[in-house]
Amino acid sequence: MEESDKSKSFYQHGMIPKEETLDREKKGKQLIIGLLKESDPKETRVSLTPQSVELLVEVGHQVLVERGAGIGARFSDRDYAEAGAGLVDNLQGLAEASVLLKVSPLDKREIALLRPGKTIITSLQLATSDESYFHELMRRKVTAVAFELLRDEMQEFPVLRSMDEISGTVAVNMGSTLLSNDGDGKGILLGGITGITPAEVVILGAGTAGEYAARSALGMGAIVKVFDRSIPLLRGLKHAVGQEMFTSVFHPQVMKKAFETADLVISTLQRIHEDSFYLVPEEMILTMKQRSVLIDIHVDQGSSFETGIYTTPEKPVFQRHGILHYMVPNLPARVPRTASIALSNVFLPLLLDKGKCGGVHQLIKDDAGFRSGLYMLNGILTNEMIGNRFGIISKDIDLLLAAF
């Protein structure tokens, strides 16, 4: 970014008048940012890389890092210390931080650390949340931001998109491994070689994860077939990939034929989007070739396969009807360094803007992209979707901001 661009908002780049930019610079203040260690051993990502920490420290912010926060992504405590972060031994050492970052939602110990006025930026993970989590945040009077709901200047979800790009690519890599002897599969190569027919890959869903699964499978030389309910999405995927491939809506007879010859089937469908969800019946799976592979990247929301059940990284694969099932969610955690850099690329500009504008309330007013990720303001729920799901009264964010 050039010198003249430094004062511009990440989400409203180039849209701030010069007078307002000068005013925002006057209101800039130091932030104390706390980076929490993940309590879930299956979550190996971290919200800020040492390189991002260094940039934050250079502009005057203070960053406190709980020891071991970056180990899963192969960032050492020494890396953070050399970047200018202060290392703390436990949660209590983060008590002074005004902004707390963590990938997974806070657990009970971490929520107990919160005091009124703090801002937390974590994932929301509605599929595994309960109402007590939100009631406790409300009681603590905190401001909470779900990073998967943040929008960029193109009105896209930058965190979701980057994680879906990774998930689609990793799913194909996992499928390739499982099809080999090492994965107890059929002992075949995903891509064909001279004189040998390539493997067939069926992808359910033409969104971002489906697109990147298709890119990866085609790049390895596989035959790819993509199914989705939306013709515009299928058309957009073919245009984005730039290669001819088989596409179809969820037609049972067409899908049955595809499953009969498939070596690898990947579902990228999300149950939270019921209008695009499709449940593959057990009788269709029974038609598949022995030791073929099923992968569901969003199994934590409910599997797209009738035979699919949630599994863990400790025992990720099971067989049913002779078909290998890989049903482990959070595929980006398998490549945590790449995923952490992607997360950090989103959070760094937000934190820089937060400091320039004088705090979270002003950033919420100034930046619609950041505001879309907000679901709680000073203990008041502002997300109607969460309120409806858990029976909690929510308030309109525009009305609340008018009071501040």
pLDDT of the residue at 273: 58
Q: In this model, does residue 47 exceed pLDDT 50?
A: yes
Q: In this model, does residue 24 exceed pLDDT 60?
A: no
Confidence label for 272 from pLDDT (cuts 50, 70 and 90): low
Domains 3-149+336-402 and 164-326 share a fold: yes
Residues forming beta bridges with residue 305, ordered by sequence position = 280
pLDDT > 90: percent of the chain: 72
Confidence label for 19 from pLDDT (cuts 50, 70 and 90): very low
Confidence label for 200 from pLDDT (cuts 50, 70 and 90): very high
Confidence label for 374 from pLDDT (cuts 50, 70 and 90): very high
Residues 150-154: contacts with CB under 8 Å, at least 24 apart: 150/346, 150/350, 150/369, 150/370, 150/372, 150/373, 151/11, 151/368, 151/369, 151/372, 151/373, 152/10, 152/11, 152/369, 153/11, 153/12, 153/13, 153/369
Distance of CA 62 to the CA centre of its chain: 26
Q: What is the pTM of this model?
A: 0.87
Q: Are strands 86-88 and 317-320 parallel, antiparallel or unpaired?
A: unpaired
The pLDDT of 94-108, averaged and rounded, is: 94
**29-43, 59-73, 244-258: segment of lowest average pLDDT:** 29-43
CATH 3.40.50.720 given to domain 3-149+336-402: yes
Confidence label for 1 from pLDDT (cuts 50, 70 and 90): very low
Residue 13 CA: distances (Å) to CA of 152, 153, 265: 10, 8, 40
What letter represents residue 151's amino acid? R
Q: What is the pLDDT of residues 385-397, one digit of tens each?
A: 999 999 999 999 9
Distance of CA 76 to the CA centre of its chain: 23
Tokens of 165: 């790009």
CATH class of 164-326: alpha beta
pLDDT of the residue at 181: 86
Instruction: Give the mean pLDDT of the chain.
Output: 89
Residues forming beta bridges with residue 86, ordered by sequence position = 64
- Helix 208-219 and helix 158-179: axis angle, to 10°? 40
DSSP 36: P
Q: What is the b/e burial string over 360-399, where b = at least 16 CB atoms within 10 angstroms of the residue's CB?
A: bbbbbbbbebbbbbbbbbbeebbbeebbeebeeebeebee
The pLDDT of 53-82, averaged and rounded, is: 97
The pLDDT of 46-66, averaged and rounded, is: 97
- Alpha-carbon span 201 to 190, nearest angstrom: 8
The pLDDT of 9-37, averaged and rounded, is: 56
Residue ranges covered by each domain of the chain: 3-149+336-402, 164-326
- What is the distance between the terminal CA atoms of the chain, rounded to a whole angstrom? 32
Q: In this model, does residue 28 exceed pLDDT 60?
A: no
